[in-house]
C-alpha cells in the first residue's frame, strides 16, 4: 500500500504557490478553449446524449460486439489476442517482439500501457522503448509518469524541458525556445521511426462492424511508427468498441473539442489490415473492466473516451497536479476508475473532490462522475478502507446530532470555547485554522434567538 496519499501529495504540490497558479491558469485556458468549441456547436448537448446512448448500447452488448469485432478483424488479417489483466497483456507484447528477435520498440501514446506499466516491464526484459508522443517522450526522459491523459507533461515548464533536452538530446544549455526544442525532438524521433522495427499504438475507437480501429493523434506519431514497422501491435481496453462506422463521427466531433478545443484531431488514423509483409496485432485487455461492468453504480465510468476534459475543469486537479492521484489516470475520472483496480490503494481518490459537479457537466459521454465519487465513498467506508479515528469521529457526530438536546449542548460548548478559549481551536492541530480564521461565535444561536423572539 502506498503510504503517501492525495492530501499529502497535494500539500507538497502547494508548497510552490506560483507553480500552482501557473498550472491552474494553463489548464483553465484549455477549459476555456473547450467551452468556446462546445458553444460553437448548437447541437452539442444532443451530441453528448447520443454518444452516451451509443456507449450504453455498447456496454449492454459488449460480449457480442467483442465477438463481432474479433471475427471481422481476423478476416481483415489482424491477429487478435485476449488479455485478462495487465500481466497477460505485457507478456503478449514481449513474446511478439521476442518471436521476431526485436529489441527496440517505438510507442505512440496509450494510457492502457501506462495502466499496465508496460514500459518498465519491457525495459526489464531488454526491450528499449521510446515514446513518440512529444509530451510522453518528455516525461519518459524525466523518468516520470504522465500527469494528464491528453497533456502528459502539462506540469512541466518549458525551461525544465530545455534542461531535459540539454541532458538527453544534446541541445545547448539554457535553451527553452519551444521552436528549437520541438525541432530537436523531431529529429530525434525521426531517427527512431526510421530505425525501429516494431511499433505499439493505443486505440481510441474500435469498430465492431468492420473490425478496424482508429487512433487519434495531433502529431501523426502513431502513423509514423506503425507505417514503418514490421510489426504493429495495438493495445486496447475492451470498452473502446463502438458498434458501427457511422457512430464514429459522433465521437470524433466530441473528443478533441472536449480535450483541447480543436474541432478534430490533426490525425484520425484508421487501421484495418496489415500492409504486405507487415504483421498487425491487437490485444483486447480486460484488466478489471468486466468487474467494473458488473458494478451497477460504476459501469458508466467505462463510457470514458479519455478526453481529459474532467481534469481540465476540475478545480482540485488544477491545484493538486496529476501526480497527486498516484495512478495512471488522474483527475475525477481516474478517481472513479482506480478504486475498481485496487480499493485499498486508491481509497483516498474519491475523497479528493468537493463534489462540485463540473466534471459531470463537461463529460462528452455524460458519465455521472461526481455522483460516482459520492457512491465510491460509501463503498470504500463500508469495505473498511478508512481509519478508526475517522469512524470514531463520525460515530460521535451521529451521537451528537441524533438528539436535539445533545446537539444544542454541543453547540453551546463549541461557541463558548471559540469565544472564551480561542487557543483551543486557533492552533496547529486545527487544519481549518492553518490558512483560515475561525468563524466568530455569536452570543446566541438562531434557535435561542427564536425562543426569545417568536
Partner 1 sequence: MKVGLFVPCYVDQFYPNAAIATLKLLQKLGVDVYYPPNQTCCGQPMANSGYEHLTGNCNRLFIENFSEFDYIVSPSGSCVLHIKDHLHDEKRESDALNVRHKVYELVEFLTDILKVKEINASFPFKVGLHQSCHGQRGLHLSSMSELVDTPFSKPMQLLNQVKGLEIITLTRPDECCGFGGTFCVVEEAVSSKMGKDRVEDHLMNGAEYITAADMSCLMHMEGILKRKNSNVKVLHIAEILNAE
The residues, any chain, with a CB within 8 Å of residue 294's CB and separated by 6 or more, are none
Q: Is 440 exposed, middle or buried (0-12, 13-18, 19+ CB in 10 A)?
A: exposed
Cα(71)–Cα(208) distance, integer angstroms: 9
- Nearest approach, Cβ of 303 to partner 1 (angstroms)? 17
146: phi then psi, degrees, rounded to nearest 5: -65, 150
> Residues 353, 332: contact at Cβ < 8 Å?
yes
Cα(123)–Cα(129) distance, integer angstroms: 7
Q: Which of 170, 173, 276, 440 binds partner 1 (CB under 8 A)?
A: 440
Q: Is 188 in the site for partner 1 (CB under 8 A)?
A: no
- Nearest approach, Cβ of 13 to partner 1 (angstroms)? 8
- Nearest approach, Cβ of 122 to partner 1 (angstroms)? 35
Write out the three cell numbers for 139: 516525461
Q: Is 325 in the site for partner 1 (CB under 8 A)?
A: no
Strand order of the sheet with strand 212-217? Answer: 241-242, 205-207, 212-217, 267-271
Q: How many CB atoms lie within 10 A of CB 430?
A: 12
> What's the sign of the alpha-carbon dihedral 194, 199, 202, 204?
positive
- Nearest approach, Cβ of 139 to partner 1 (angstroms)? 23
Interface of this chain with partner 1, residues 17 to 46, rule: CB under 8 A: 17, 20, 24, 28, 35, 38-39, 41-42, 44-45
23/55 with CB nearer partner 1: 23
Q: Which stretch binds partner 1 (CB under 8 A): 116-124, 148-156, 236-244, 371-379?
A: 371-379
- Nearest approach, Cβ of 452 to partner 1 (angstroms)? 11
Instruction: Return the H-helix or E-strand segment holding 392.
Output: helix 388-401
Q: Which of 315, 343, 345, 417 binds partner 1 (CB under 8 A)?
A: 315
> Residues 35, 309: contact at Cβ < 8 Å?
no
The DSSP secondary structure of 431-446, one letter per residue, reads: HHHHHSPPPPPPSS-H
60/378 with CB nearer partner 1: 378
16/159 with CB nearer partner 1: 16
Q: Which stretch binds partner 1 (CB under 8 A): 11-19, 64-72, 194-202, 235-243?
A: 11-19
Site string for partner 1, 400-419 (x = CB under 8 A): -xxxx--x---x--xx----
> Residues 133, 109: contact at Cβ < 8 Å?
yes
- Nearest approach, Cβ of 382 to partner 1 (angstroms)? 7
Q: Which stretch binds partner 1 (CB under 8 A): 57-65, 121-129, 160-168, 428-436?
A: 428-436
Q: Is 3 in the site for partner 1 (CB under 8 A)?
A: no
137/415 with CB nearer partner 1: 415
Interface of this chain with partner 1, residues 197 to 216, rule: CB under 8 A: none
- CA triple 330-332-338, angle to 5 deg: 60
Q: Is 173 in the site for partner 1 (CB under 8 A)?
A: no
> Residues 130, 192: contact at Cβ < 8 Å?
yes
Instruction: Return the H-helix or E-strand segment holding 232.
Output: strand 231-237
- Nearest approach, Cβ of 62 to partner 1 (angstroms)? 29
Q: Is 374 in the site for partner 1 (CB under 8 A)?
A: yes
213/376 with CB nearer partner 1: 376
Interface of this chain with partner 1, residues 330 to 359, rule: CB under 8 A: 351-358
44/267 with CB nearer partner 1: 44
Interface of this chain with partner 1, residues 64 to 103, rule: CB under 8 A: none
The residues, any chain, with a CB within 8 Å of residue 343's CB and separated by 6 or more, are 379, 380, 383, 385
The DSSP secondary structure of 279-301, one letter per residue, reads: EEEEEEE-TTHHHHHT-TTTGGG
Q: Are strands 212-217 and 267-271 parallel, antiparallel or unpaired?
A: antiparallel
Q: Which stretch binds partner 1 (CB under 8 A): 69-77, 173-181, 189-197, 427-435?
A: 427-435
Q: What is the CA radius of gyration of the chain?
A: 25
- Nearest approach, Cβ of 375 to partner 1 (angstroms)? 9
- Nearest approach, Cβ of 377 to partner 1 (angstroms)? 4
- Nearest approach, Cβ of 253 to partner 1 (angstroms)? 13
Q: Is 297 in the site for partner 1 (CB under 8 A)?
A: no
219: phi then psi, degrees, rounded to nearest 5: -105, -5
73/333 with CB nearer partner 1: 333
- Nearest approach, Cβ of 408 to partner 1 (angstroms)? 8
Amino acid at each position: 500500500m502506498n503510504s503517501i496519499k492525495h492530501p499529502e501529495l497535494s500539500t507538497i504540490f502547494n508548497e510552490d504557490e506560483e507553480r500552482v497558479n501557473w498550472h491552474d491558469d494553463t489548464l483553465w485556458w484549455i477549459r476555456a478553449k473547450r467551452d468556446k468549441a462546445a458553444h460553437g456547436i448548437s447541437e452539442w448537448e444532443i451530441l453528448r446524449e447520443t454518444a452516451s446512448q451509443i456507449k450504453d448500447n455498447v456496454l449492454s452488448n459488449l460480449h457480442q460486439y467483442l465477438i463481432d469485432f474479433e471475427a471481422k478483424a481476423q478476416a481483415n488479417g489482424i491477429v487478435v489476442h485476449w488479455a485478462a489483466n495487465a500481466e497477460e497483456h505485457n507478456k503478449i507484447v514481449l513474446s511478439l517482439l521476442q518471436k521476431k528477435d526485436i529489441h527496440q520498440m517505438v510507442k505512440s501514446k496509450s494510457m492502457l500501457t501506462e495502466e499496465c506499466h508496460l514500459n518498465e516491464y519491457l525495459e526489464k526484459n531488454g526491450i528499449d522503448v521510446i515514446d513518440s508522443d512529444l509530451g510522453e517522450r518528455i516525461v519518459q526522459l524525466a523518468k516520470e509518469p504522465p500527469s494528464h491523459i491528453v497533456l502528459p507533461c502539462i506540469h512541466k515548464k518549458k525551461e525544465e524541458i530545455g534542461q531535459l533536452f540539454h541532458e538527453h538530446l544534446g541541445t545547448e544549455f539554457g535553451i527553452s525556445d519551444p521552436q528549437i526544442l520541438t525541432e530537436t525532438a523531431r529529429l530525434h524521433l525521426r531517427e527512431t521511426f526510421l530505425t525501429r522495427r516494431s511499433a505499439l499504438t493505443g486505440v481510441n475507437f474500435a469498430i465492431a462492424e468492420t473490425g478496424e480501429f482508429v487512433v487519434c493523434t495531433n502529431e501523426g506519431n502513431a502513423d509514423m511508427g506503425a507505417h514503418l514497422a514490421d510489426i504493429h501491435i495495438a493495445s486496447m481496453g475492451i470498452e473502446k468498441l463502438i458498434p458501427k462506422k457511422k457512430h464514429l463521427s459522433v465521437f470524433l466531433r466530441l473528443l478533441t473539442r472536449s480535450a483541447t478545443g480543436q474541432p478534430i484531431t490533426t490525425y484520425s488514423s484508421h487501421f484495418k489490415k496489415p500492409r504486405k509483409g507487415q504483421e498487425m496485432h491487437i490485444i483486447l485487455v480486460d484488466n478489471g473492466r468486466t468487474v467494473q461492468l458488473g458494478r451497477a453504480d460504476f459501469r458508466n465510468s467505462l463510457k470514458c473516451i479519455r478526453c481529459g476534459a474532467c481534469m481540465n475543469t476540475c478545480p482540485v486537479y488544477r491545484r493538486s497536479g496529476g501526480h497527486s492521484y498516484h495512478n495512471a489516470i488522474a483527475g475525477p475520472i481516474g478517481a472513479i476508475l482506480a478504486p475498481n483496480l485496487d480499493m485499498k490503494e486508491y481509497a483516498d481518490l474519491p475523497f479528493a473532490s468537493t463534489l462540485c459537479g463540473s466534471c459531470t457537466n463537461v463529460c462528452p459521454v455524460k458519465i455521472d462522475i461526481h455522483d460516482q465519487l459520492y457512491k465510491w465513498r460509501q463503498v470504500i467506508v463500508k469495505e473498511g478502507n478508512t481509519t478508526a479515528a475517522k469512524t470514531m469521529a463520525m460515530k460521535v457526530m451521529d451521537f451528537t446530532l441524533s438528539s436535539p438536546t445533545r446537539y444544542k449542548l454541543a453547540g453551546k460548548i463549541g461557541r463558548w470555547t471559540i469565544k472564551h478559549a480561542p487557543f483551543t481551536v486557533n492552533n496547529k492541530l486545527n487544519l481549518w485554522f492553518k490558512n483560515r480564521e475561525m468563524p466568530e461565535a455569536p452570543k446566541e444561536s438562531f434557535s435561542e434567538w427564536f425562543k426569545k423572539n417568536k
